[in-house]
Every structure is written in C-alpha cells, then in structure tokens.
C-alpha cells in the first residue's frame, strides 16, 4: 500500500457502522508538519485474538496491533521482524498470517516464549513426553521458594527444570521440550489454581520472596499442592484452542538473541515490515520482574539486565535508538515499512513519538504518518495532552516510516 492509499485508508476507516470518523491532526517538529490519524483502528471488538497469544509477559501490546500493519503492508511469504520481540506478539501473529518471521531480543526469555508457538507440537506429543519425564519427590531448589510452592509441587518443578536443563546440555531439546518449557515458565506464578504457586501478583512478573511472605500472611494462606504435569497439559490445550494447523513447517523463522543495533545475521534489504515497541526509558524492570523465570531456565538475570536498554533520560534513550534505526534502515527492503510503537512516559510528560521521528528521518526513512489507536478518544479534549490518561483514553501511538 502506497503512502497516498494509506492516508486514504486511514481517513475512511470504519470497523463498523457505529464507529466514528477518523480525526486528523498535525505534529510539528523542527518546522515540519507530519500527519496524525486518530481512531479506534483495532480493538478486541473487531476480531478476537488467537488463543495462542495467551502467554503473560510484561509490557506487551495486543495482537490486533501488528495484524493491522501486517495485513496492510505485506503479503504471504514476506518477512516480518520485531527487534524487541518481548513475548512474540508481532512474530506469532505474522506467522498465523503465513508470513516469514525474524524475532530478536536481548532477553533469552523472549525466544523461550516465542519459538514454541511458531512450531507447535500436538497435544498427543506433549502428553506422551510429559509421561516420559520422571518427577522425583523430596527434591529441593538451591534457593528458598517455600513461600511460593508446596514442597511436593516444588520437587516436581525442580525435577522438570533438571530434565529440561539436561536435554539442552545434550543438545536433544526439540519442539516438544521447548513447548513444555514455555508453558511451565508461564505457569510459575499467578493468581489462580491454574498456576504452580500459591496466590500471588499477576503472572507477568514475580514478586520478591520477602513480598510473597507478606502476601501469604495478609491472605492467611499457605501453598497447596499443584500437579505440575496436569497444569501444563491444561494450559497447552487452552493455548491450542484456536490453532487449526499444529505444524507451521512452511514458515521460515530466524531467532536472534542479540543487540537490536547489531543484527548481522539479517540480510540487508530483506525485511518487508517491522512492527515493534522498544523498552521505554527505565519504566519497566524487565530482568527483576522475571527473576523466577530466569531461575527456572538457568538464565543469569544480572547478565540479562546489563544488556537491556534502560535509560533515564530521553537523550540517552535516543542515542541508543538511533543505532537501532540505522540497523533497521539497512535490513529494510525498498518500500518496506517500520511501525514503531511508542507511548506516553511518566504520565504524559514525555512523548517519545517526538523523539522517534527525527531518529527515523536521520537514517533516510520517510515518515508516512503517526497513527494513534485511541479507544473513546473523543472524551479527551486534547489527545496529545497530559490529561489524556486521566480522561480515560487508552491509546497506542505508532510512528510509521517507509524506506
């Protein structure tokens, strides 16, 4: 879709007869005007997301966001890329649409959550493999976790952890093992009996051991036994509820665990579309939130934390993102598109779209538009204002570049 067609599509967009017209504004930076289109371009009301996405991860966007751009700017067989892959929303959604994918993230947990959902084993295979795994009694973890797990549950978790670690060391890990690892990692802590742990905070992060002790006291609770194999199988069935094809062997996938500014394994001019959302300053403590997941997967959390982009100032953040944009320009195909999602930071005092625009332009990209997906945005007098969130508007802000 060319620039003029894209603008016309945004102006005329309606997802049903009751939806309101697109609002148009301009963002002026350094004397230059850039078109802004505001509407509810994607929403759960339009299309229910595939069940395969139901994996909790901190700071992730809805699958409808990447689908919007994948359907607009790519065809089957094109390469869709996410340099800050997170839980894999962009790459999994692109694979569901029969696009080839490249997933990159400096956090190895990202690929643990993504790769199994691209190459999905069958329930029969998963159940058979679980039956082969011996879950020993009386095993203990090398760290104190009794505030989270009943002793027999913990013994099962440690047994599974040891099995997966051995399979990896022997280079025998396959799609079935990777699936079991992903689901077990996702079931470590949560707020229902569908998780291995006693009641704790939502499943996209793990509180500290000290904090969990206080939660247990406040709720007058003690960890109860959870059947690890049973819960893995139950969650697997839930994830596969909407998956029609169990094997996506026609999809070409490249998984990278490196700095987004140095992706040498990606060929120049090969990527048709990038849809991504970068780390925002120091808002989210990714490594600290995932300490328990890192333990289960034998990942050194301190090493991960050193690699993740955590900047305290816009200037420092922009300097790092400029290098990422330089690399994005190299790998983007002629006429290829980058949809760079940013958000209001620190209650709207910092608007990263104003920082991102010059970064893309500096590398040679053209700015197609700024797309704001805003639910009930008419309730807010000024969509760009600090009062945005307090008025109840939930928005995604995407700067769209083209090479």
pTM: 0.90
CA separation for the pair 342, 395 (Å, rounded): 10
Give the pLDDT of the chain (403 residues) as one tens digit per residue: 888 899 999 999 887 777 778 999 999 988 899 999 999 888 766 667 889 999 887 667 889 999 999 999 999 999 999 999 989 999 999 999 999 999 999 999 999 999 999 999 999 999 999 999 999 888 999 999 999 999 999 999 999 999 999 999 999 999 999 999 999 999 999 999 999 999 998 767 789 999 999 999 999 999 999 999 999 999 999 999 998 754 456 789 999 999 999 999 999 999 999 999 988 765 556 667 889 999 999 998 777 777 776 677 888 889 999 999 999 999 999 999 999 998 666 555 667 888 899 999 999 999 999 998 876 544 433 444 434 443 444 578 899 999 9
Residue 146 falls within a domain, yes or no? yes
- Residue/partner pairs of 78-82 with CB below 8 Å, 24 or more apart: 78/272, 78/273, 79/252, 79/270, 79/271, 79/272, 79/273, 79/333, 80/271, 80/272, 80/273, 80/274, 80/275, 81/266, 81/271, 81/273, 81/274, 81/276, 81/331, 82/274, 82/275, 82/276
Examine the domain organization and report whether 65 and 142 are in the same domain: no
Examine the domain organization and report whether 199 and 319 are in the same domain: no
CA separation for the pair 398, 377 (Å, rounded): 15
Examine the domain organization and report whether 77 and 43 are in the same domain: yes
**403: closest CA among 81, 84, 94?**
81
Examine the domain organization and report whether 388 and 275 are in the same domain: yes
8 A C-beta contact, residue 143 and residue 295:
yes
Examine the domain organization and report whether 197 and 66 are in the same domain: no
Examine the domain organization and report whether 231 and 261 are in the same domain: no
Residue 152 falls within a domain, yes or no? yes
Domain of 151 in residue numbering reads as 123-239
Q: Tell me how many domains the chain contains.
A: 2
The CATH number of residue 37's host domain is 3.40.50.150
Q: What is the CA radius of gyration of the chain?
A: 22
């Amino acid at each position: 879709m060319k620039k003029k067609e894209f603008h016309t599509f945004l102006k005329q967009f309606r997802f049903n007869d009751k939806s309101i017209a697109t609002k148009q504004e301009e963002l002026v930076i350094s004397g230059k005007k850039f078109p802004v289109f505001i509407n509810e371009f994607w929403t759960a009301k339009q299309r229910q997301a595939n069940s395969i996405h139901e994996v909790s991860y901190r700071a992730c966007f809805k699958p409808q966001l990447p689908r919007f751009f994948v359907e607009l700017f790519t065809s089957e067989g094109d390469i869709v890329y996410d340099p800050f892959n997170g839980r894999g929303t962009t790459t999994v959604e692109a694979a569901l649409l029969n696009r080839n994918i490249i997933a990159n993230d400096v956090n190895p947990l990202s690929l643990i959550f993504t790769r199994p959902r691209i190459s999905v084993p069958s329930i029969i295979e998963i159940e058979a493999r679980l039956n082969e795994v011996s879950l020993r009694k009386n095993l203990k973890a090398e760290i104190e976790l009794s505030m989270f797990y009943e002793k027999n549950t913990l013994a099962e978790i440690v047994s599974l952890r040891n099995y997966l670690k051995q399979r990896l060391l022997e280079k025998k890990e396959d799609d079935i093992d990777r699936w079991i690892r992903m689901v077990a990692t996702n079931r470590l802590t949560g707020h229902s009996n569908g998780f291995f742990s006693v009641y704790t905070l939502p499943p996209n992060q793990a509180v500290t051991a000290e904090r969990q002790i206080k939660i247990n006291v406040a709720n007058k609770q003690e960890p109860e036994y959870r059947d690890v194999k049973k819960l893995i199988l139950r969650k697997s069935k839930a994830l596969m509820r909407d998956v029609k094809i169990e094997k996506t062997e026609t999809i070409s996938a490249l998984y990278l665990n490196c700095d987004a500014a140095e992706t040498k394994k990606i060929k120049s001019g090969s990527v048709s579309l990038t849809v991504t959302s970068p780390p925002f300053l120091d808002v989210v403590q990714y490594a600290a939130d995932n300490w328990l997941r890192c333990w289960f997967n034998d990942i050194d959390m301190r090493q991960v934390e050193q690699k993740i982009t955590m900047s305290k100032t816009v200037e420092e953040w922009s300097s790092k993102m400029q290098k990422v944009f330089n690399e994005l320009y190299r790998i983007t195909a002629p006429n290829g598109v980058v949809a760079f999602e940013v958000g209001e930071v620190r209650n709207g005092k910092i608007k990263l779209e104003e920082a991102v625009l010059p970064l893309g332009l500096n590398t040679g990209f053209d700015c197609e538009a700024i797309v704001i997906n805003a639910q009930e945005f008419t309730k807010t007098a000024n969509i760009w204002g600090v009062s945005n969130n307090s008025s109840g508007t939930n928005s995604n802000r995407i700067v769209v570049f083209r090479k």
